[in-house]
C-alpha cells in the first residue's frame, strides 16, 4: 500500500506541475474526486493507437482484407478503415488456411476432434466450403488413426481441391526405404507427406481424383541393401530420406520430418508448388501425371512422373552446395503470381528467416526459375537449380526489418503493391514498389476476444491474409455495407495517415478549458481545417481556419477528445479532456 501511495503522490504532483500530452489541467481544483480524475489522466496517457488500422494512405489498394486468426474460431473481412464487412463464426479453429474465393465462398481448413497421433499445432482434419452468410455448403474430413490433413489446401479452377495430408509410415517400411534405424522416432512411426486431389460430392463426400506420396520419391546413401540407394547429389529429383535428423532444430522433426506448410497450383503449367519447411526449400511437381505415373519416375508432360521437377532454397538438401549457400529459412507462404499482375508467373515466397545466420529477420522474395525453350527446369553448371539468389521485394533494408518466426504469406495486388502478412505478430501491411507502407493493420483480437484500442495485444497470429479489390468477382451480389471496427474503442482511421507529417512551423495549438476553445499562438494559418473527434472516431465538429487565434467549441459531454489541424499533406493533433 505504501508503494501505491508513493506512486499516487508522485503522479499527482507531476500532473499538477507538468502539462502532459497537451491536456490542460487548469480545472483540476474544480474536480471533486481526485482519484477519478487521476484514472482518467492515466488512461489518456496510455491511450494510443495500437490495434486495427495503424496507417492508411491513398496509395493503398481500395478493397477488402480477409483473414482467419490462428487461435480463434472466426474469419473476417474488413475494409481499409478496419470496419467489419463480414464475420464467419465457425466454432472450430482453422487448421490452418482459409481463403475467400471468386465464387463468393470461403474455403477453410478446420480442426475437428483428433482421431490419430498427430500432435501438432498445424493439424487440420477438416475442409469446408462456407457461404457469405456462414452456411456450410460442403464439408469433408481427412481425420483417422492413419492420416490427417494439415496446414493448407488450394481450390483448383475445375472446382477440385488439393490438400496437404500426413500419413503414418512405420519403422519397418522406413527401414526398407533406407532410413537410419537410429533416426526413427520412439513411437516407431513418422508422418510422411501426401497430396490428395478431392472432387467435392454432395454436401459431405468427395472423390479422390489424384494423389502423390513422398514415399515413392526417396533417395538414400545409408544402406546399399535397401531401396533407393544411390548418390544423393546425382538425384536432385528425389528427397534424401535421412533428412532431417531427429535432433534437428526444425519444426517437430522427430515425427513431422518434411513439414509441408504451403501448396499452390498453376493451371497453365499444370504444376504444384510446395513449401517444404524442414529442408528449407520450395518444390515443384508435375500434376499432369496419372496416379500411377505420380508414384513413378516417368510419365506426365515433363516425363519425370512424380519426381521433383524443381527445388530451390537449400541445395545442401541434395548435396549440391554447402549449407552456407542456403537461401530460405523456415519459409511458409509460396505462390505463383497470377496472370495479369505485375511479375506474373514468378513465385512469391515469404522467407521467415527463422534460423538465418546472424539476426533473424523476414523477407518477401520473388523467384524466377530458369527454364529452357521447352519449359523444362534445368540444373546449372554448378550442379544446382538457379537462380543463385531470389529478388527481394521487401525486408532487405535496415529500415524495412521485421520478423515473423512462423505462419505468414505475401500477395501481389492488382495495383502493383504487395500485401504482407507477418503472421506471428498478427500484423498485415501493404507496401508499394518503392517499399513505402501505405496500409498497416494490427489484428485486434486475442483468440476471438476483441482487443481494446490503446492496449497491447497478443495471441493474434494469422496463417494467411489476402486483399481483394472492390470489383472482385467474389463480391458480386453481396452487401458490403461496413459495420464497426472489430476492436473496442476504435479511433477514426484517418487520424493516422502515414504520409502526413506534423507541421514544421513553430505554431502551437492547445485546449483552453476556461473558454472551451481550441487556441493557436499563430494567426496566419490558412487553407487548413480544424477537426474534433471523440474517442470512437466520430467527427463531432470542424472549422475552416480563417486566421483567428481561437475557435469556440460547442458543449461536449465529459470525456477525452482528439483535435487535429490538417492541410493537404500535413497535420498536427492534440488530445484534451472536457470536464
Selected residue with higher pLDDT from 506 and 334: 334
Identify the pLDDT of residue 567: 58
117-131, 237-251, 301-315, 377-391: least confidently modelled range = 237-251
Selected residue with higher pLDDT from 201 and 573: 201
d(CA 303, CA 170): 31
Can you read off the three cell numbers belonging to residue 253?
Answer: 522433426
Listed residue (349, 353, 484, 470) closest to 412, CA to CA = 349
Q: Would you say 42 and 11 are in contact if contact means Cβ atoms under 8 Å apart?
A: yes
State how beta strands 334-336 and 347-351 pair: antiparallel
Mean pLDDT, rounded, of the chain: 87
Domain ranges of the chain: 2-49+496-578, 51-71+407-490
Identify the pLDDT of residue 448: 97
Selected residue with higher pLDDT from 525 and 468: 468
Selected residue with higher pLDDT from 259 and 528: 259
Kind and range of the H or E element at 7?
helix 2-17
Distance of CA 201 to the CA centre of its chain: 31
pLDDT at residue 417 above 90? yes
Can you read off the three cell numbers belonging to residue 438?
Answer: 501505405
pLDDT at residue 294 above 90? yes
Q: How far is CA 150 from CA 91, 144, 260, in A?
A: 18, 13, 9
pLDDT at residue 570 above 80? no
Identify the pLDDT of residue 568: 47
Identify the pLDDT of residue 147: 98
Query: CA quadruple 12, 16, 20, 22: dihedral positive or negative?
Result: positive
pLDDT, mean of residues 374-383 = 92
Listed residue (143, 187, 202) closest to 167, CA to CA = 143
pLDDT, mean of residues 161-174 = 97
Q: pLDDT tens digit string along 5-62?
A: 333 334 433 333 333 344 333 343 344 344 444 444 444 434 468 899 998 999 999 9
Q: Would you say 108 and 124 are in contact if contact means Cβ atoms under 8 Å apart?
A: no
Can you read off the three cell numbers belonging to residue 322?
Answer: 554447402
CB atoms within 10 A of CB 476: 10
d(CA 34, CA 16): 11
Identify the pLDDT of residue 392: 95
d(CA 340, CA 512): 56
Report field, pTM of the whole predicted structure over 0.75: yes
What CATH number has the domain spanning 2-49+496-578? 2.60.40.3080
Buried b (16+ CB within 10 A) or exposed e, 242-260: bbbeeeeebbbbbbbbbbb
Identify the pLDDT of residue 526: 61
Which span out of 40-54, 240-254, 400-414 was modeled with the highest average pLDDT?
Answer: 400-414
Q: pLDDT tens digit string along 214-235?
A: 999 999 999 999 999 999 999 9
Q: Would you say 462 and 425 are in contact if contact means Cβ atoms under 8 Å apart?
A: no
Identify the pLDDT of residue 553: 92
pLDDT, mean of residues 386-403 = 94
Can you read off the three cell numbers belonging to residue 523?
Answer: 494567426
70-74, 404-408, 556-560, 562-566: least confidently modelled range = 562-566
d(CA 286, CA 272): 6
Selected residue with higher pLDDT from 236 and 25: 236
Q: Is 300 exposed, middle or buried (0-12, 13-18, 19+ CB in 10 A)?
A: buried
What would the 3-class secondary structure string for 74-115 be?
EEEEEECCCEEEEEEECCCCEEEEEEECCCCCEEEEECCCCC
Listed residue (167, 381, 400, 195) closest to 283, CA to CA = 195
Q: pLDDT tens digit string along 480-491?
A: 999 999 999 888
pLDDT, mean of residues 276-305 = 97
Listed residue (526, 457, 578) closest to 48, CA to CA = 457
Buried b (16+ CB within 10 A) or exposed e, 319-338: bbbeeeebbbbbbbbbbbbe
Amino acid at each position: 500500500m505504501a508503494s501505491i501511495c508513493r506512486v499516487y503522490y508522485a503522479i499527482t504532483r507531476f500532473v499538477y506541475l507538468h502539462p502532459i500530452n497537451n491536456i490542460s489541467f487548469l480545472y483540476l481544483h474544480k474536480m471533486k474526486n481526485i482519484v477519478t480524475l487521476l484514472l482518467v489522466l492515466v488512461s489518456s496517457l496510455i491511450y494510443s493507437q495500437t490495434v486495427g488500422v495503424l496507417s492508411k494512405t491513398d496509395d493503398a489498394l481500395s478493397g477488402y482484407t480477409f483473414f482467419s486468426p490462428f487461435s480463434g474460431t472466426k474469419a473476417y473481412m474488413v475494409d481499409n478503415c478496419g470496419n467489419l464487412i463480414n464475420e464467419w463464426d465457425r466454432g472450430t479453429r482453422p487448421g490452418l488456411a482459409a481463403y475467400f474465393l471468386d465464387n463468393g465462398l470461403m474455403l477453410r481448413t478446420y480442426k475437428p476432434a483428433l482421431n490419430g497421433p498427430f500432435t501438432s499445432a498445424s493439424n487440420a482434419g477438416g475442409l469446408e466450403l462456407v457461404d457469405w452468410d456462414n452456411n456450410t455448403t460442403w464439408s469433408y474430413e481427412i481425420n483417422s488413426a492413419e492420416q490427417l490433413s494439415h496446414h493448407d489446401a488450394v481450390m483448383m479452377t475445375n472446382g477440385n481441391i488439393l490438400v496437404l495430408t500426413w500419413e503414418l509410415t512405420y519403422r519397418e517400411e522406413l527401414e526398407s526405404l533406407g532410413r537410419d534405424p537410429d533416426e526413427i522416432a520412439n513411437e516407431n512411426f513418422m508422418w510422411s507427406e501426401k497430396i490428395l486431389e478431392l472432387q467435392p460430392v454432395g454436401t459431405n463426400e468427395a472423390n479422390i481424383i489424384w494423389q502423390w506420396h513422398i514415399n515413392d520419391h526417396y533417395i538414400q546413401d545409408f544402406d546399399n541393401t535397401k531401396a533407393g540407394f544411390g548418390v544423393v547429389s546425382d538425384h536432385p529429383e528425389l528427397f534424401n530420406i535421412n533428412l532431417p535428423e531427429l535432433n534437428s532444430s526444425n519444426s517437430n522433426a522427430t515425427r513431422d520430418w518434411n513439414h509441408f506448410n504451403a501448396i499452390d497450383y498453376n493451371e497453365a503449367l499444370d504444376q504444384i508448388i510446395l513449401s517444404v519447411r524442414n529442408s528449407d526449400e520450395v518444390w515443384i511437381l508435375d500434376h499432369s501425371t496419372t496416379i500411377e505415373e505420380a508414384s513413378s519416375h516417368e510419365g506426365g508432360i515433363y516425363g519425370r512422373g512424380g519426381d521433383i521437377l524443381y527445388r530451390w532454397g537449400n541445395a545442401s538438401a541434395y548435396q549440391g552446395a554447402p549449407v552456407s549457400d542456403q537461401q530460405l529459412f523456415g519459409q511458409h507462404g509460396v505462390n505463383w503470381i497470377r496472370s495479369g499482375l505485375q511479375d506474373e508467373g514468378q513465385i512469391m515466397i515469404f522467407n521467415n528467416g527463422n534460423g538465418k545466420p546472424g539476426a533473424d529477420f523476414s523477407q518477401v522474395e520473388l523467384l524466377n526459375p530458369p527454364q529452357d525453350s521447352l519449359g523444362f527446369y534445368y540444373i546449372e553448371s554448378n550442379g544446382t537449380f538457379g537462380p543463385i539468389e531470389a529478388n527481394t521485394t521487401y525486408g532487405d533494408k535496415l529500415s524495412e526489418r521485421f520478423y515473423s518466426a512462423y505462419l505468414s504469406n505475401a500477395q501481389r495486388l492488382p495495383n502493383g503493391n504487395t500485401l504482407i502478412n507477418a503472421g506471428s505478430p498478427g500484423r498485415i501491411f501493404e507496401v508499394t514498389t518503392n517499399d513505402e507502407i501505405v496500409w498497416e493493420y494490427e489484428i485486434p483480437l486475442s483468440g476471438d476476444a476483441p482487443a481494446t484500442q490503446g492496449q497491447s495485444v497478443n495471441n493474434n497470429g494469422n496463417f494467411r491474409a489476402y486483399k481483394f479489390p472492390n470489383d472482385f468477382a467474389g463480391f458480386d451480389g453481396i452487401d458490403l455495407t461496413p459495420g464497426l471496427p472489430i476492436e473496442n474503442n476504435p479511433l477514426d482511421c484517418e487520424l493516422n495517415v502515414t504520409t502526413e507529417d506534423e507541421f514544421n512551423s513553430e505554431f502551437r495549438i492547445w485546449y483552453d478549458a476556461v473558454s472551451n476553445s481550441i487556441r493557436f499562438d499563430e494567426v496566419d494559418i490558412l487553407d487548413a481545417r480544424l477537426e474534433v473527434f471523440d474517442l470512437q472516431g466520430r467527427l463531432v465538429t470542424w472549422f475552416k481556419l480563417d486566421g483567428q487565434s481561437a475557435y469556440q467549441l460547442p458543449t461536449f459531454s465529459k470525456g477525452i477528445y482528439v483535435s487535429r489541424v490538417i492541410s493537404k499533406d500535413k497535420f498536427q493533433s492534440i488530445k484534451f479532456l472536457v470536464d
